[in-house]
Chains A and B, each alone.
Chain A
Amino acid sequence: MSTPTAVALEDAKVAFRLGDGRVYTAVEKAHLTVAQGEFVAIVGPTGCGKSTLLNVAAGLLKPAAGNVRIFDRPLAGLNRDAGYLFQADALFPWKTALDNVAIGLEVQGTPRAEALSRAQQWLTSVGLGAFAGRYPHMLSGGQRKRVALAQVLIRDPKILLMDEPFGPLDAQTRQVMGNLLLDLWSADRKAVLFVTHDLEEAIALADRVVIMSAGPSSRIIGDWRVSLPRPRDIFEVRLDKEFHELHREIWGVLKDEVMKGYAQSTHAAEAV
């Protein structure tokens, strides 16, 4: 194998201690690798621990067992090679769009003037050049995601971790954002780990789609290669025959898990 492995989770197990002392195992024996330049999407039913796995790769969460290796080195503390795009709004509300993007450089010690001019370039490349002076609350949900994307990418991380980043957006905006992401990604092909509950989105974006079983103790139960040609257009690719075949095949596996996950969450609700 010539391409190095960017992220490797080896038999990672994630467990939480609940308030009443019991231990809840979120993810069991997860084995997952992302090669350099590879776009991997994780899909799974609600509550299966997809985001948990991402937090492990980010170093925000320590696995209860197993190893995390980043570029073949064991991960200790936060993953400094990774940029993280959060599902919820994570922009600093007291900073303008420009300052929000520049901050990643400023904390590295880049002179403020230079950080600002590069931030302006990044805002322009996500299509928000004219919104530099706006505070996050003056931007729409989609615009905030664009700022967040620029905020992460300006630091030029080798790995991009994305936790349902377009989840809160409406369907059209999601597709536009998907295309923007692919455009930016194709420039330098970072390793991407992209969590979503939307199978179509996963197939349209990724090189590989990984399926997780319903929680608790969820495992990785499938791994498909997506060989749709690049560059892709999210709108067009959905009409492709291969897309449909792959979708049918993966959905056959995913459907059962989604039903299980749904049943479990309703049971849990009844128990409470």
Chain B
Amino acid sequence: MSRPTLLALQVLVAVVGIVLWQVLSTVPVFGKILLPPFFFSNPLDVFSQIVKWFSSGVIWKHLGITLTESILAFVIGSAGGVLVGFWFARQPLVAAVFDPYVKMVNALPRVVLAPIFALWLGLGIWSKVALGVTLVFFIVFFNVYQGVKEVSRTVLDNGRMLGMSERQLMRHVYWPSALSWMFSSLHTSVGFAVVGAVVGEYLGSAAGLGYLIQQAEGVFDVAGVFAGMFVLSAFVILIDFGVTLVERRLLVWRPTVDGRG
């Protein structure tokens, strides 16, 4: 399918969805409105709410806060994941000892940690960053651990036969291998950084997109909730696009999935 056709069809889905929503929430069908405005609002209200946020400029502050929290969570979580992943992979004993605890902490639904972080770190950005870190850390950790462990035996032997010392093996073999695994999970980990930030805000904060949604919900402002959701998804799509660009730059050496290079 050609690109323009695909794009046209994708836009068509959005248009049909929005038109249906608008019609069903304003025009009675058999004397009854199928989507009561109290629960479903309608696209026009949602749109005007978004416009109001942007024209008054109030949204920028919230977006900025959520973005800061996401970036911090991503950076800190990734750095920790890389370090610990490397350490565990190179020290099997340490990995074996900590294995049950790692599994235990990872099995814990992270939302229950939010109140604790709020207690420890207050209602500012750091409790949200901490929540995001717990999510990002494990994804990066598992990938780096796997990446270091699954370095091809032949490539390693080749490095040795080419005269590499342990440090040079680290730099030229283990490190790039681990990074490639980390980057392959970049979309997931960046996504989770945002999830951590927004959920944290939702559960208790004074600013951010999660706060905006939670506030609207508190006064049954359904249009506000939907507006917040739309802004949030646009925000995530933009970030995801940025990640794709970074990935393309960093993983040029990797064959694409369809094998065409």
Contact = CB atoms under 8 A, between A and B. Distances in A.
Contacts of A80: 163
B157 A60 contact: yes
Interface stretch (B31-39, B164-172, B241-249): B164-172
A52 to B, nearest CB: 13
B161 A82 contact: yes
A95 B157 contact: no
B254 A86 contact: no
Interface in A49-98: 58, 60, 78, 80, 82-84, 86, 88-96
Q: Majority SS of interface residues in chain B?
A: helix
A172 interface: no
Interface in A254-268: none
A90 B158 contact: yes
B122 interface: no
A58 B252 CA distance: 33
A94 B253 contact: yes
Q: Majority SS of interface residues in chain A?
A: loop
Interface of B: 152, 154-155, 157-165, 168, 172-173, 176-177, 180, 252-255, 261
A92 B252 contact: no
A86 B154 CA distance: 7
Contacts of A94: 176-177, 180, 253
A89 B154 contact: yes
23 contacts: A58-B161, A60-B157, A78-B161, A80-B163, A82-B161, A84-B157, A84-B158, A88-B154, A89-B154, A90-B152, A90-B155, A92-B158, A92-B173, A93-B254, A94-B177, A96-B253, A107-B168, A107-B172, A135-B252, A137-B253, A137-B255, A151-B162, A155-B162
A104 B173 CA distance: 13
B162 A104 contact: yes
Contacts of A88: 152, 154
